[in-house]
Amino acid sequence: MTPAVSIPQRTGPAVSASYSPTNATSIHDRMNRRDSVNAIRMPKVLHPVDNEDLRLLLLENISQEAVKTFRDQGFHVDHMTKALSEDELVEKIGSYHAIGIRSKTKITERVIKAASKLLVVGCFCIGTNQVDLDTAAKAGIPVFNSPFSNSRSVAELVISEVIALSRQYFQRGFEMREGIWNKQSKGCWEIRGKVLGIVGYGHIGSQLSVLSEAMGMRVIFYDVVNLMPLGSARQVESLSALLEEADFVTLHVPELPETTNMIGATELAQMKKGAYLINNARGKVVDIPALVDALKSGHLAGAALDVYPSEPGSNGAPFDDQLNSWASTLRSIPNVILTPHIGGSTEEAQRMIGEEVSSALVRYLNYGSTVGAVNFPEVDLRAITAEQPDHVRVCYVHNNIPGVLRQVNEVLSPYNVEKQYSDSKSDVAYLMADIADVSPTDINRLRELISKTSSNILTRLLA
């Protein structure tokens, strides 16, 4: 295996807050201390000891920043622009150690069972509902995502949709393309002073709150937890209260059992006559046949949808009634903006996500860190330094049952355990330990002994 060459900056700059004038008596003291701290903390580049080349499969046109990061580490990368179906994945995944996906590729239990070498999943997006997170955790596979890097892009898209809907300019634009001049002001409004109702006040909802207030809108939001309102926004106590007051309702919730069909016939009826619905979250959050009825009856004045219960896996594939039975009806209703899940599709967002998620995957593959994993205990250790050449890092994923630590520490007992940290999440626990003075001949034996412990899910050694 080609050794990893770049050093993730896990320990941060060596100059810490302790270098205040009160702590150091002279500039020389400071310089000396800085040098010694630098020397002590220079991290050693680790990589897996089992010497098999790491192979990564990147789907859905993940950014070239990620490809570069992985190739710089010496990993083999296969990059595809489309999503793969479950059958295609089952056939392919057995030879890969890591997979990168966006929102379309489904990592199901069947896929995970076929993924005999898979160590980690990277969702290069916010959502992780496309992955069977529990099954992945139980198979020792942490899943990472990018919790906020495309938030701004989505918020800006919503702002544009609010204006497009209230001015009907998508409709006017279509008419012009047909050669029809249709200048009118009836049913067209400024957004100034209108009420924007945000459902879900997370990274996107709160960013949108700030942007829309800057444009003169009044913001209310509903969230299952109590949150600090930004600017002059106001949290309301129920979804119904929000629906009854908002001129525009915009959804920013994850796909969960409790958010499926969160907006159905009852909720649409609670919205004000002439209001608009915007969904850039997940397709299953809105009961679309009910939305079609609300639009056709004139109760709602328009809607913008970027996400759908079923979405094509690649560009050029049809968005038709075979995919979603109501597709052609929805396409025929005026003042409905339909976009192909582009909320996070900007150069800026994809670049940031590419960097963020690829770094998280490299930190896990090379250093064992699960900080930021969505389905796994979050564990990390400070770096092994360049002055500790015979140190080995043990990464041990195991069933979360009593007695395991005794077993593993018995195996480690002939060595000095320099540092150790362990945590659990539900049925899965993860222990990282750095042990000293391990001879190269000991390494395989050590891995074998730990792998044989009764609760072992996955044992990796990094050196």
Tokens of 59: 């789907």
Counting contacts by CB under 6 A, is residue 250 touching ligand 3PG?
no
- Given the rule CB under 6 A, which of 296-304, 339-347, 374-382, 392-400 is the region that contacts ligand 3PG? 339-347
Q: Which of 345, 388, 424, 455 binds ligand 3PG (CB under 6 A)?
A: 345
Tokens of 297: 């009856």
Counting contacts by CB under 6 A, is residue 341 touching ligand 3PG?
yes
3-state DSSP call for residue 55?
A: strand
Find the radius of gyration of the CA atoms of the chain: 26
Counting contacts by CB under 6 A, is residue 150 touching ligand 3PG?
yes
DSSP one-letter code for 259: G
Is 282 one of the annotated active-site residues of the chain? Answer: yes
Rounded to an integer, what is the distance from CA 168 to the centroid of its chain?
33
Counting contacts by CB under 6 A, is residue 147 touching ligand 3PG?
no
- Given the rule CB under 6 A, which of 16-24, 88-96, 178-186, 342-350 is the region that contacts ligand 3PG? 342-350
Counting contacts by CB under 6 A, is residue 125 touching ligand 3PG?
yes
Instruction: Closer to ligand 3PG by CB, 148 or 189: give it.
Output: 148
Q: Which of 48, 197, 343, 372 binds ligand 3PG (CB under 6 A)?
A: 343
**Alpha-carbon torsion, ordered 230, 233, 235, 239, to 10 deg:** -120
Counting contacts by CB under 6 A, is residue 327 touching ligand 3PG?
no
Site string for ligand 3PG, 62-101 (x = CB under 6 A): ----------------------------------------
Q: Which of 344, 354, 368, 377 binds ligand 3PG (CB under 6 A)?
A: 344
Counting contacts by CB under 6 A, is residue 126 touching ligand 3PG?
yes
What is the spatial distance between Cα 200 and Cα 436, in angstroms, rounded to a whole number? 48
3-state DSSP call for residue 29?
A: helix
Size of interface with ligand 3PG, in residues (CB under 6 A): 10
Counting contacts by CB under 6 A, is residue 103 touching ligand 3PG?
yes
Q: Pick from 362, 311, 363, 358: which is nearest to 339 by CA? A: 311
Q: Which of 79, 152, 218, 282 is catalytic?
A: 282
Is 311 one of the annotated active-site residues of the chain? Answer: yes
Tokens of 386: 């360049």
Helix runs in 215-346, H state only: 239-245, 265-270, 288-296, 327-332
Is 447 one of the annotated active-site residues of the chain? Answer: no
SS3 percent helix, strand, coil of the chain, rounded to 5, is 35, 20, 45
Counting contacts by CB under 6 A, is residue 352 touching ligand 3PG?
no
What is the spatial distance between Cα 156 and Cα 208, in angstroms, rounded to a whole number? 7
Rounded to an integer, what is the distance from CA 37 to the centroid of its chain?
35
Which residues are known catalytic residues? Answer: 282, 311, 341
Residues of the shown chain interacting with ligand 3PG in the complex, contacts defined by CB under 6 A = 102-103, 125-127, 150, 341, 343-345
